Amino acid sequence: MRDPGEKMIGAVDIGGTKVAVGIVDDQGKVLSSSESPTGPDSEYAPGLDMIATMLKDAAGRGGVELSGIGIGSTGPVDPFSGAFGEVDFLPKWRGENLVKDLARIFGVSVAIENDGDAGALAEAGWGAGKNKGRLIFVTIGTGIGGGIILDGRLYRGVEGAHPEVGHQVIDPTGPLCSCGFHGCWESLAAGPAMAAWMESAAPGGDPRREPLTAKQICQLAMQGNELAVLAVGREARYLGLGLANLINLFTPDAIVLSGSIMRSSDLFLQGIRETIRRGCRFVPFEKTELVLASLGDDANLIGAARVWHHRFGEVEQLVS
């Protein structure tokens, strides 16, 4: 029997290729969920109808009434107005306001955050970073993003801006990044960067010059492939450099690592830690725990729900 006072949050995760929706309880458990593909040609009005229908269906399957709705979205969003910014993967959604529209449809409070911030809130509240007042969440996959928790609260920049940890410059002579700089952390250490280096480093005519994914490179490295082992070592060094910068700047209690690259974390963690050890001599780097995200496949939906709790839940600290 559920506590009648328990809050059931509708969670919406907007990604580059799909929208996922679920119902999440007070303990961070996903009760029901579904997803639907999206693309650059997706119009906003049909997308809004689809999300509303999915939320109603998910609530019906869970046999609950929604207490609120939390949204985590890839790309720039305004957490206060609720408007989408320059969302490249959903260009027809720019300037639209899912927060206001879902609040009108469901009659509940709605909050939105960048998905990196949502991930940070989820791991700090219900995951590997629980009880850590100073936490940095980093996700490494097709890009690098994250969120920062300071003194138990989500860190925001000017006008609520989301910090772009993936666009710190590591090597100004490095490859051009989509942001306009050369040698950003993302351009050197995200999955596509690892694959691009592997392809460029293979001798002419070598089958390894065929495009490989980061996952395939990791599998080759585990099999002892020399070039793949070099690619993994290079990746670990660049990951370590970016993380060392974050430790030097913030000296957090913990850094939580997530994303597809970290599914092969055993290949990288030793090299990452060695780079941090060499580059963080002036701060107590050994006090910063390096941990893996713990919320699994439902992390994005749990993060979206945590967005609502952080904004509208009873005043609470993420640390005990």
Q: Phi, psi (5° rounding) for residue 171?
A: -145, 105
pLDDT of residue 6 exceeding 80, the answer is no
pLDDT of residue 1 exceeding 60, the answer is no
How much is the pLDDT for 2? 56
Kindly tell me the burial class for residue 203, based on how many C-beta atoms sit within 10 Å of its own C-beta (0-12, 13-18, 19 or more): exposed
Beta-carbon contacts of 308 under 8 Å, excluding residues fewer than 6 positions away, are 9, 68, 69, 70, 109, 110, 111
Amino acid at 204: G
Please give the residue that has the higher pLDDT: either 158 or 315. 158
pLDDT of residue 210 exceeding 90, the answer is no
Please give the residue that has the higher pLDDT: either 172 or 75. 172
Structure token pair of residue 238 = 């660049």
Q: What is the pLDDT of residues 141-158, one digit of tens each?
A: 989 999 999 998 999 988
Confidence of residue 62 (pLDDT cuts 50, 70, 90): confident
pTM of the full structure: 0.89
Confidence of residue 3 (pLDDT cuts 50, 70, 90): low
Cβ pair 306, 125 in contact under 8 A:
yes
How much is the pLDDT for 208? 59
Confidence of residue 267 (pLDDT cuts 50, 70, 90): very high
Distance CA 303, CA 196 (A): 31
Cβ pair 211, 204 in contact under 8 A:
no
Q: Taking residues 37-64, what's their average pLDDT?
A: 92
How much is the pLDDT for 319? 42
pLDDT of residue 211 exceeding 60, the answer is yes
Q: What is the pLDDT of residues 213-228, one digit of tens each?
A: 999 999 999 999 999 9
Query: What ranges make up the beta strands (E) of 46-122?
Result: 68-73, 109-114
- The β-bridge relationship of strands 135-140 and 254-258 is parallel
pLDDT of residue 167 exceeding 90, the answer is yes
Torsion on CA atoms 58, 64, 70, 74, rounded to nearest 10: -20
- Residue among 184, 161, 178, 195 nearest 78 (CA): 161
Q: What is the pLDDT of residues 84-136, one digit of tens each?
A: 988 778 899 999 999 999 999 999 999 999 999 999 999 999 999 998 999 99
Q: Taking residues 38-51, what's their average pLDDT?
A: 92
How much is the pLDDT for 209? 66
Question: For residue 24, what are the CA distances in angstroms to 3, 14, 49, 305?
Answer: 14, 16, 21, 6
Q: Taking residues 299-306, what's their average pLDDT?
A: 95
- Residue among 101, 86, 94 nearest 12 (CA): 101
Distance CA 18, CA 146 (A): 20
Q: Taking residues 203-212, what's their average pLDDT?
A: 72
SS3 assignment, position 287: helix
